Amino acid sequence: MSRTGLSLSAFNMRQAKIKTERLKPVLLGLAIFFLSAFSGAAAHAQQQQPMAVPPETALSDALSAACRQDSPAFGSSLTAENAAAFRTLPSPQRTAMMKRFVLLEEPGRPLFSTSNGGQKIVRCESPSFTTEMRLDAAKVHENLAFIPMEIPITGDEPRKVTIGLVREGGNWKLLSVGLILLDVPAMAKQWAQADLDANEDIAIADLRSVAAAANAYRNAYGVLPETLAVLGPAQADGVSPDAAGLLDAALAAGDKDGYTFRYAIVPATDFAPGEDSGKPVNFSIACSPKEYGKMGRRSFFLDSSGVLRGADKKGDIADRTDPRIGPS
């Protein structure tokens, strides 16, 4: 190789080295730019889609809300459909659902800890009682998670149940308790019917209380009470035929537990033909719901014979022609 060729080669190498040195700041600047842009995009995406809390945390949050009887917070732990239905429930039904969830009647104070075995523990301390829920690790399969939960029972085997959660909108929401799906709209219908049944049972008990009071009054004073009012609370100076102290004020006024009560003395000829037609020897009591379908559906009738009758009268008054209910 000639001296001229060697010199040209060396020159080209020096020029390439100079260009590379000059490009280093440019390349470094581009790298920093793209790195910053990627980091900013990642941060923005993280802000747009925050990381969902683990299913165990979602469940402990729901238990905490139920413990406090915090309806808005508990509603946020439900799926969108169930949350919408939960918000429309009457306040007593929302509270009842939360009570069932933590097995407590009163609002409590939630406390969190972890057992030696790694179980997440949620304690709910109320003034009269404390419950404890122990959560095992969640078993996650795609958008479903199942968490075994254990509730220690004093003097008995612990109660075990598996809570199901579903991922909705990036967050874990309550789905099931054991094998029962949390279907709040369906549950609301069942609870509404259960409330009606319970109110009707209370009305029957009130009806029997009036009958017992009427019989007690007749035994004490030799005659039937003219009205329900005289069966009401006694005066300060004691019981009397005008204030026998046999019923509370509401029932003596004929208006209690969503039902209206009607009392009547029945002429003997209606019950025992042959007796003096005007002799008041028996009574009848009828009660009907004040707001049909809200506090009850059935109307009831009870007379001196002790036979209970009733039917769905659409709010009308029941009488002795209605079907017999249960034993006398």
pLDDT at 254 over 90: yes
User: Which residue do the tokens 């795609």 mark?
Assistant: 142
Q: Which amino acid is at 68?
A: R
> CA angle, 312 as apex, 308 and 314 as ends, to 5°?
130
pLDDT at residue 279 in the model: 55
Nearest Cα to Cα of residue 214 among 160, 262, 155: 262
| Alpha-carbon gap, residue 302 to 214, rounded angstroms | 12
Backbone angles phi, psi at 114, to 5 degrees: -130, 135
pLDDT at residue 43 in the model: 43
As a whole number, mean pLDDT of residues 242-252 equals: 96
| Alpha-carbon gap, residue 73 to 110, rounded angstroms | 13
Reported as a pLDDT band with limits 50, 70 and 90, residue 36 is very low
* Most confident stretch, 129-133, 187-191, 286-290: 286-290
pLDDT at residue 317 in the model: 96
More confident residue, 23 or 147: 147
What letter does residue 63 receive in the DSSP assignment? Answer: H
What is the per-residue pLDDT across 103-113, written as a single tens digit (0 to 9) for each?
Answer: 888 999 999 99
pTM more than 0.85:
no
Reported as a pLDDT band with limits 50, 70 and 90, residue 48 is very low
What is the per-residue pLDDT across 155-171, written as a single tens digit (0 to 9) for each?
Answer: 888 889 999 999 999 99
Helix axes 184-221, 91-102, angle to 10 degrees: 100
Cβ-based neighbour number of residue 113 at 10 Å:
10
pLDDT at 33 over 60: no
Indicate the SS3 state at residue 12.
helix
| Lowest-pLDDT range of 127-141, 173-187, 283-297 | 173-187
Backbone angles phi, psi at 117, to 5 degrees: -85, 5
pLDDT at 34 over 90: no
| Lowest-pLDDT range of 44-58, 111-125, 135-149 | 44-58
As a whole number, mean pLDDT of residues 109-128 equals: 92
**Cβ neighbours of residue 68 under 8 Å, at least 6 residues apart?**
107, 108, 109, 110
Cβ-based neighbour number of residue 297 at 10 Å:
18
Backbone angles phi, psi at 267, to 5 degrees: -55, 145
More confident residue, 272 or 98: 98
pLDDT mean across residues, the chain: 82
More confident residue, 100 or 269: 100
More confident residue, 277 or 90: 90
| Alpha-carbon gap, residue 36 to 54, rounded angstroms | 30
What is the per-residue pLDDT across 255-311, written as a single tens digit (0 to 9) for each?
Answer: 999 999 999 998 765 444 554 555 557 999 999 999 998 889 999 999 998 999 999
pLDDT at residue 41 in the model: 39
